[in-house]
Structure 1
Amino acid sequence: MQLMKNLLIVSATEAEILPLLRFLEANFRTVAQHSFQNERYSVDILISGVGMMSTAYNLGVALARNTYDAALQAGIGGCFDMQLPLGSVLGVASECYADLGAENRGAYIDIYELGFLQKDTYPFTDGKLLNLKPFEAGMGLDLVPAISVNTVSGHSPTIAARAGRYGAVLESMEGIAFHYACLQQQLPFLQIRAISNYVTPRDRDAWQIGLAIRNLNQHLQDFFSK
């Protein structure tokens, strides 16, 4: 008999995960608000809030109160690679800081160059938080590198500098907090992002938020329907 897996799904906003919530309400037994079960999974949904600080605090509280077999972070994000179609769903192989440091006139000095953190201080590996054993082998997704920022890239020099320095495909505001907590807890995890926009000077009219949310949630629903 297969043991039930206790899963935590983390999303910055309810809007990003609302279709999955409706799916779980319709197909799972509701145990409590944002908590569902069937014969295979016990699923808690955590709306962490936007940004690293809110995510770190609320995820820390959730992990202190409950024991999970794995955690998923699900959301939308920007993409540096314009060859990937908007709405594409990807997993994240690695996370790193992209704006934690100091400015020196026109130059950016990262936290490592400042000497406040060593690149291989656990759980970092060469300045990155790696997911070497992603939950359910990445749930069938291509895994790509990502960066986390407090201010999303929207100025051409910033975009070029970050793309060149980090070689990232995805950008979000919460991913590194999720990776850090899961690695510290030695909890299997996977961050999933659907591309809502390309990382360019800000142009909301070109974004495809609705498409990204639909594709993200369809992938999650397909996983829980197997």
Structure 2
Amino acid sequence: MRILVVCAVAEEAQAVEAGRAVRHELDVLVCGVGPAAAAAATARAIADNSGMGRAYDVVVNAGICGAFEGRAAIGDVLIATDSVHAELGVALPWRFQPIDEIGFGTNRIGCNTVLTVAVEGVRGEILTLASITGSDGLAAQLAHRYPEAIGEAMEGFGVATAAQQAGLPFAEIRTVSNFIGDREVGNWDWDAALKSLTTAIREL
């Protein structure tokens, strides 16, 4: 099985490499931050490798994230049931209208949970945003809008879109470095999150 694991930054990629299992052929791609960079880099990697006769069987987005307080803890592994683009739609004065409701596609891509059945962690929706949630008020709004969401990151939906268009199964695995809304970096624990990411990749 050939697996493409897409990470936003080098530190995440190093944690994934540390958890590499010898039984699978695994490539790690550093795509850059945000859904657009993630989609473009993933699509190119899939196309380039298919052209060389080394097509991927599976695409995984892996990295650290923020969690909704009360739904997961620092250092937890989050396994996505769905990758949800939380900002794709219409911001009406009284509510957010997902793009699904206006007939221009969907802001949700289901994840292949068979790929992550051996991974231990918290399961639920993981939100993709182009901007990090920077206040407790905004975090509360997101938590209310998406009651099944357990965390937020910035690349999942982009990677999922590229995988879906290529007809490949997709999974998203994240590990918690901070709580959503908390911008005090001193309260974040990157080391715990990256260590958990290595463990999660070993279990994949």
Distance 1:175 1:101 in 2: 17
Q: Which has the larger radius of gyration?
A: 1
Task: Point out which structure has higher relative CO (alpha carbons under 8 A, 6+ apart).
Answer: 2
| Paired residues of 2:12 and 2:194 also in contact (CA < 8 A) | yes
Q: Which amino acid aligns with 1:100?
A: L
* Number of residue pairs aligned between Structure 1 and Structure 2: 198
1:172 aligns with 2:175: no
Measure the CA separation in 2 of the matches of 1:56 and 1:175.
9
* Corresponding residue SS for 1:139: coil
Confirm or deny: 8 A CA contact 2:111 2:172 kept in the other structure: no
Contact 2:81 2:124 (8 Å CA) reproduced: yes
Mind listing any 5+ residue stretches in structure 1 that lack a counterpart? 29-37, 120-126
- Residue 71 of structure 1 pairs with residue 59 of structure 2: yes
* TM-score, normalised with respect to structure 2: 0.85
1:156 is aligned to 136
- Superposed CA deviations along residues 131-173 of structure 1, whole A, max 9, x for unmatched, are 2444153534442111110111122332121111112111000
Identity among equivalent pairs (%): 26
Tell me, yes or no, if the aligned pair for 2:5 and 2:60 is still in contact at 8 Å.
Answer: yes
Q: Helix, strand or coil for the counterpart of 1:135? A: coil
Q: 2:35 aligns with which of 52, 56, 62?
A: 52
Q: How far off is 1:110 after superposition?
A: 3.9
Deviation at 1:80, TM superposition (A): 0.6
Asked if the contact 2:7–2:29 (Cα under 8 Å) also holds between the matched residues in 1, the reply is: yes
Opposite residue 13 of structure 1, the aligned amino acid is: V
Equivalent of residue 15 in structure 2, options 19, 23, 26: 19
**Structure 2: where are the runs of 5+ without partners?**
50-54
TM-score, length of structure 1 as denominator length: 0.77
1:92 correspondence with 2:80: yes
SS of corresponding position for 2:200: helix
Matched, 1:6 2:14: no
Contact 1:8/1:43, CA 8 A, preserved across alignment = yes
Cα root mean square deviation, aligned: 2.4
Cα pair distance change 1:203/1:136, threshold 3 Å: closer
Deviation at 1:108, TM superposition (A): 4.0
Kindly tell me: are residues 173 and 107 of structure 1, through their superposed partners in 2, closer, same or farther at Cα, counting changes over 3 Å? same
Cα 1:185–1:149, aligned 2, differ >3 Å: closer, same or farther? same
What is the deviation of 1:75? 0.0
Change (3 A) 1:83 1:135: closer
Task: Tell me the secondary structure at the aligned position of residue 36 of structure 2.
Answer: helix
* 1:96 match: secondary structure: strand
Q: Describe how 1:131-210 pairs up with structure 2 within 5 A.
A: 131-137=111-117, 139-167=119-147, 168-210=149-191
Structure 2 residue identity aligned to 1:75 = G
1:57 maps to a residue whose letter is A
